[in-house]
Chains A and B, each alone.
Chain A
Amino acid sequence: MSRLYVARNPRVAARSLDGEMMIMSGRDSTLFTLNKTATILWQSADGTTPLDEIVEHRICAEFAVEPAEALHDAEHMARELASHEILQISEEPIPAKDATSGGAR
């Protein structure tokens, strides 16, 4: 089974407010807020760490959830965020030049 890689889309604007990300789409300036799980996914989306590792080391470590179920939910979440051009997803690592290097605080 192929692994999924996720990276923050450098065209969005983003900031953490009280532990949750607010993200403005670069496409149409729509504003989104991410819940705590999606925020962890966003903050971990460096383009080089596979999604299953993010789920295992960051999400399962934070929440009492079955790894398989968590990965399923995370994949769904990543694809939804990608549909809004908030995240980039690929079956290959995503080079840093295509992803934001600074990250949002």
Chain B
Amino acid sequence: MSTETRIDLSQVRRRLDGQGGRRYWKSLEELAETPGFQSFLHREFPENASLWTGDAGGRRDFLRLMGASMALAGLTACTKQPPEKIVPYVRQPEGIVPGKPQFYATALNDHGYAKGVLVESHMGRPTKIEGNPEHPASLGGTDLYGQAAILALYDPDRSQNLLLEGEIRTWSQFTVALKAALDAQKALKGKGLRLLTEPITSPTLAAQVEALLAEHPEARWHQWEPAGRNSARVGAQLAFGQPVETRYHLDQADVVLSLDCDFVSEGPANVRHIRDFASRRRLQAGVEPNRLYVIEGSPSATGASADHKLVVKPSQVEGLARAVAAGLGLAVAGGSSDRAAFVAGLVKDLQAHAGRSLVLAGEGQPPAVHALAHAINEKLGNVGKTVTFSDPVEARPVDHLASLAELAADLKAGQVDVLIVIDANPVYSAPADLDFKAALDKARLRIHAGLYLDETGERCQWHVPLAHTLESWGDLRAWDGTATLVQPLIAPLYGSKSVHELLAACSGQAAKPGHDVVREHWQAQLGPEFEARWRQALHDGVVAGTAFAAKAVSVQPGAWAQAAPAAVSGMELVFRPDPSVGDGRWANSGWLQELPKAITKLTWDNAALMSPRTAEKLGVKVGSTSRGQSTELVELRYKGRSAKAPAWVVPGHPDDVVTLHLGYGRTRAGRVGDGLGVNASLLRTSDAAGFGGGLEVRATRQAYTLACTQDHWTMEAQDQVRARNLMRVVELEEYQRDPHKIAEEFAHHRPAKDLTLYPPDHKYEGNAWGLVVDLNACVGCNACVVACVAENNIPVVGKEQVAMGREMHWIRVDRYYEGDLDDPAVHHQPVLCMQCENAPCEMVCPVAATSHNEEGLNDMAYNRCVGTRYCSNNCPYKVRRFNFFLYQDWETPSLKLQRNPDVSVRSRGVMEKCTYCVQRINVARIEARGQDKPIKDGDIKTACEQACPAQAITFGDVNDPQSRVAQLKQQPRNYGLLEELGARPRTTYLAVVKNPNPEVSHG
């Protein structure tokens, strides 16, 4: 049924080499013109995709199922509606209007740091998370984790019971045992007591931990986080001789150099970084476009936004950083002489923008690179302008690798009597050389507290289920020190306790509610007028005036400046947090597993990512079928350990390097995350947490299928113009010289307005909704996709269904490569329903289930749809999604709580698609009409627009010439996809404008 085609990479390369001008391509499959790609291109769903593909798809099963369908589905329309109950309040709380959502300000815990959010609550049921415009780390935007946090709250696999050796115990039984253990330790001054946590910024929690340590002076507090900010932490210590927090001000920088730093994804300020960076990518009056140089050792979302991207082995980044430092006149040794022309041009550009430039070092690079970045910023006079420093926000910042190694050593030496692990999962995530699993068993009493009964919890005697951030009181600090009071949106679903309550129990206050702990802490901080300030802080989502003051620090000369980069030989293995599931903590989120990863577009798996040349050298065979991408497992031998992972060819990956993302290979994540992918921690060592050399790779010829969405929903454009009627990129200089050239170049694609069967000039009275995506601001972070899933009750379909092209996302982020196979530029393009004025889908629906409304929206009435799929067949943009099966989980009670009550939950056999969040439009319209006011520009935000940290998506009324969307559509770089078809899309795009430096060559 599905035939496999191998891709001949050398042939693909030859084909690309013969091309002139800008050419955009989506995948190797496209270049090789495999039948699998062709079927994705020419059909809305690949051949046979509509066949039943269960485990046993025989005729008998088919008949049985059809029988059931007739009995159950066919006749349901003829039955009576079951009676429904109304359950009003006994005493209705003040301020609640049934049916109207309320928004509460709180913060989510992102690796210990605060991300300020507003949570939508429908009568006590949180359903959606939005960014808090008043919070410095959000400014209204969120990342994909902020959006996915709501699903984690309702995850049915969360730990629900307090356990001792797997048997259910009560909180009081636990606290009695805890007290006994701690009392025994008190006599020993806590000599055998160890605490293991993630970084802590919560002022209350930090004070509680300090109090516990004061009671047990010889106890030790260890911290571990597998993919945190260790290099930044240690690098700052190295450079300044003291722990400091670094704050980047990307909005102030004209020239940005990223040393393998994926600043749009990593760190507690990534949302703010995207906002600040994107504010300089908008081509508007008064905005000076910035320029981004990226030197990267593994493909990243940041690299895709670069104006100059230099792909090198990760071990070569330090040498290049040293060369740049030396070029700027710093007394730094060990500079690499490679790429001298690039470095010279870069140095010149940095010098020309002294005080208005910024150098960032990535978490995957060793601390010395961070120290170099600090030295370069200081030399360029950027300190105080594009980069500032403050006291550390974390309580007791430590080197996590050293801290965990120390704990492992103590454990092995039998010195640990009581180990309390809070929210960390070292058994899964510790570097392999620490052998933490075996070490952990040496602790006599092991207590684990966490959201899940995970790999670590499983090996501890006691397991305490923790409450989710949305269920508990607390506080957190953002990366700039701003404190937020964390307030619960709902009582703990499973009666779990918060960390504050656990720590209070450690100090003998087992019955103290978390609210009182936090409130008492802040009572001392906020002083007089406490009640008013506390309420104000809860309302705003920030405690006013808590940001840390800037601190003057200077780079200390040290051995790091002179030391040559550590020699790394052979092939290299890179460890990075997964773009979707991070370090594994999000592994059980179906939304994130199914999210196509930023660059690779893989779902449900991690893979050994390698360049086309490396794949050719290894003889790895990749191919495609209509049932997913076929590849083979490769054996990775690294520092005496080995693992097998599916190979995946990524154009633009450095040669002789393999990237393996962390976060997979979980065994106790839950029913979604268990058994997916390979655990990279089993190869990772504590001396080389970011990358290491000496990797050997061997092809095994064992076949493996990956679900990659890169070819799905490929729009069918004529090949010779495929280039620019989908993706448009110009260079800034060219654009500034003649802004209209790019539009004129394609003017002949636009059909005459009267070339239509409809009355040619239908006037839309009143509001006419439209949307613009600024491709130059978009960084491909995927927040919009998850936001859309959360807002519109979009189901998760699973790996097999994704492989067949049945993912249900209403907005997808298409990734285009431009240029040659080995070092292509990467562009992102979010594609949602175009809401065509001449919608091709509407003409072919036999039951008028999809039709136009008076505001120009292309409506979809689910209950009218009979599932012919003619509409998706006729949609040139391929934005319609069909429920082949009952994908929505109608059974799990906790998941029902998450659903947005304003959007229908779709069933099997129904077509669905983006509606521009029509539920939000309707609410705004009814509200405005009730008050007899027009809808103001910006009153309606679609879910994707609201989440977008880059503000790349703008929705509004195109009939209002003053609206932001109408203004943006006036820009000369505005264009519609496949305009030659005459569908007149309401969604348009602003072309990418790259700002390369003519003086820089990549040699």
- Asked if A pairs with B, the answer is no
Chain B interface (Cβ < 8 Å from any Cβ of A) = none
